[in-house]
Amino acid sequence: MREDRGVIPASQPAMRTAWLVVALLAPVALLNYLDRQMLASMKFSVMADITTIGSDANWGRMLGQFKWVYAILSPLGGVIADRFSRRYTIAGSLFAWSVVTWVTGHVTTYEALLWTRSLMGISEAFYFPAALALIADHHYGATRSRAVGMHQMAVYAGVILGGFSGYIADGPALGWRTAFTVCGMVGALYAFPLLFLLREPVRSASAEAARKASFLRSLPGLLTNGSFLLLVLYFTLPALAGWIVRDWMPAILKQEFKIKQGPAGVAATSSWQVAAIYGAVIGGWLSDRWLQTNIRGRIYVSAIGMAIIVPAIFGMGNAGTLMTSIAFLGLFGLGWGFFDCNNMPILCQIVRPELRATGYGIMNLVSISCGGLADWGFGRLRDAKVPLNVTFSAIASVAIVAIVVVLLIRPRPEPVSAESTKG
């Protein structure tokens, strides 16, 4: 089933370029989430060094501040990627956030840390809408979910590596500042070859004209698209769990099971991220195959993933041992892989090619804003000694609602394209 008519069909050399794009972006996605996860995994070292942080509520506010800035600017990043160049947007974003990562390793006060996290939010906001739209431009129905899944696997690898950063923070010869300094330097250097090696797809004349059309004329068609609004809601609800698990589980495992920071970071990240890699591989393959016989195939695969996530969230809040908690984290990761590899492909079934980065930016705006509130609120609940099982049970109920929401999305038999429809 062909999903696009606004991009010229791919020849064999073009397909090689399409997979090269995924390979080039994978290290960028890894660095993007490595930078984020390191802070969560090195929480106790950072708080001990920067004493003005003071409380879990302040820590949660700092995590939330990054997400709020990131969320607010994500639509702008999408608009720039859709109207100008995805390639320049991606390379510029990588360079900017790498410089901020380096600076983060040199801050000494809570206020300075808040500023660097805000700047990180500004610079990283431009990457994901542009990167996923570029992958979708190169990959059609037969490979799209697998291509997005491979990119997301690099995200999971970044989180896994970030989980090991607790050991670096505990090392007397290294420390948390060294990790941020080195990662910043690596990212800044990679931005230059990336700029020259990435390729935009070959577009038809009408597709190119639509891409450069007025954003204000195109936006109403996006915001009045009922399926798109449902996808925004669906993308947001699991984020409440996803960000809490990613940002807080290293600290939760350390405190609940009395283990050191290094093992806690590895246990909290490796279990669910490794499982998410399997989920992305299986979910991407199943989605691409199912789409050939049923236009709702991607939606069904994503709903299956969400159905796996629900008991996993409930279990994490009620686990009595470290091994049980790790097992439920693995189950969560498997479902997350199914969910994660299909969000952009589902968006491609309901939104025109020239609005995909913008659409994903709006999805980020809503989802990550709520994720920031979840981080801040979870910190408040931890300070108030609210039992974990109560909090996680409430989050699991939200994931149940998400299953209903995704099943209401109606993909179009011939999805919107730059040549065939107007919006």
pLDDT band (50, 70, 90) for residue 211: low
Taking alpha carbons only, the member of 327, 229, 234, 15 closest to residue 140 is 15
pLDDT band (50, 70, 90) for residue 208: low
pLDDT of 420 above 50: no
Residue ranges of domains in the chain: 12-201+211-407
Contact 203, 7 (CB under 8 A): yes
pLDDT of 410 above 80: yes
- At residue 167, the pLDDT reads 79
Q: State the chain's mean pLDDT as an integer.
A: 84
- At residue 406, the pLDDT reads 96
pLDDT of 47 above 50: yes
In sequence order, what are the residues at sequence separation of 6 or more whose Cβ sits closer than 8 angstroms to the Cβ of residue 411?
227, 295, 296, 298, 299, 346, 349, 350
pLDDT band (50, 70, 90) for residue 185: very high
- At residue 271, the pLDDT reads 83
- 77 burial level (CB within 10 Å; 0-12, 13-18, 19+): buried
Which amino acid is it at 137?
Answer: D
Q: Which helix (H) or strand (E) holds 142?
A: none
- At residue 418, the pLDDT reads 39
Percent of all residues in the chain with a pLDDT value above 70, rounded to a whole number: 90
pLDDT band (50, 70, 90) for residue 217: low
- At residue 203, the pLDDT reads 61
- At residue 197, the pLDDT reads 93
- At residue 69, the pLDDT reads 87
Q: What is the CATH number of domain 12-201+211-407?
A: 1.20.1250.20
Beta partners for 203?
7
7: three-class secondary structure by DSSP: strand
Contact 90, 194 (CB under 8 A): yes
- At residue 403, the pLDDT reads 95
Can you tell me the distance from the alpha carbon of 251 to that of 269, in angstroms, rounded to the nearest whole number? 11
pLDDT of 173 above 50: yes
Contact 106, 122 (CB under 8 A): no
Residue burial 277-306, b: 16+ Cβ < 10 Å; e: rest: bbbbbbbbebbbebbeeebbbbbbbbbbbb
Which amino acid is it at 363?
Answer: M
- At residue 216, the pLDDT reads 60
Q: Average pLDDT in the 248-253 region?
A: 84
Opening angle at CA 16, ends 11 and 20, nearest 5: 145
In sequence order, what are the residues at sequence separation of 6 or more whose Cβ sits closer than 8 angstroms to the Cβ of residue 48?
none
DSSP assignment string, 201-255: PPB-HHHHHHHTS-HHHHHHHHHT-HHHHHHHHHHHHHHHHHHHHHHHHHHHHHH
pLDDT band (50, 70, 90) for residue 413: low
Torsion of CA 222, 126, 90, 280, to 10 degrees: -70
Higher pLDDT, 201 or 286: 286
pLDDT band (50, 70, 90) for residue 95: very high
pLDDT tens, position by position, 138-169? 887 678 889 998 998 998 888 888 878 877 87
- At residue 28, the pLDDT reads 95
pLDDT band (50, 70, 90) for residue 213: low
Count of residues making up the chain: 423
pLDDT tens, position by position, 310-333? 999 999 888 889 999 999 999 999
Which amino acid is it at 42?
Answer: M
- At residue 214, the pLDDT reads 52
- At residue 13, the pLDDT reads 62
On whether the pTM is more than 0.85, the answer is no
**Eight-class DSSP state of 414:** S
Higher pLDDT, 16 or 192: 192
Q: Average pLDDT in the 100-120 region?
A: 90
Q: Average pLDDT in the 94-123 region?
A: 90
- Winning range, highest mean pLDDT, from 134-148, 184-198, 250-264: 184-198
In this structure, is the dihedral angle defined by the CA atoms of residues 27, 32, 37 and 38, taken in order, positive or negative? positive
pLDDT band (50, 70, 90) for residue 423: very low
- At residue 279, the pLDDT reads 94
Can you tell me the distance from the alpha carbon of 249 to that of 233, in angstroms, rounded to the nearest whole number? 24
Q: Average pLDDT in the 62-66 region?
A: 80
pLDDT tens, position by position, 333-382? 999 999 999 999 999 999 888 788 889 889 988 988 887 788 778 878 87
- 224 burial level (CB within 10 Å; 0-12, 13-18, 19+): exposed
Which ranges of 43-143 does DSSP label H, i.e. alpha helix? 43-49, 56-83, 86-104, 110-124, 127-138
- At residue 339, the pLDDT reads 94
Residue burial 104-137, b: 16+ Cβ < 10 Å; e: rest: bbebeebeebbbbbbbbbbbbbbbbbbbbbbbbb
In sequence order, what are the residues at sequence separation of 6 or more whose Cβ sits closer than 8 angstroms to the Cβ of residue 189?
none
Can you tell me the distance from the alpha carbon of 417 to that of 210, in angstroms, rounded to the nearest whole number? 10
Can you tell me the distance from the alpha carbon of 296 to that of 290, in angstroms, rounded to the nearest whole number? 8
Can you tell me the distance from the alpha carbon of 90 to that of 86, in angstroms, rounded to the nearest whole number? 6
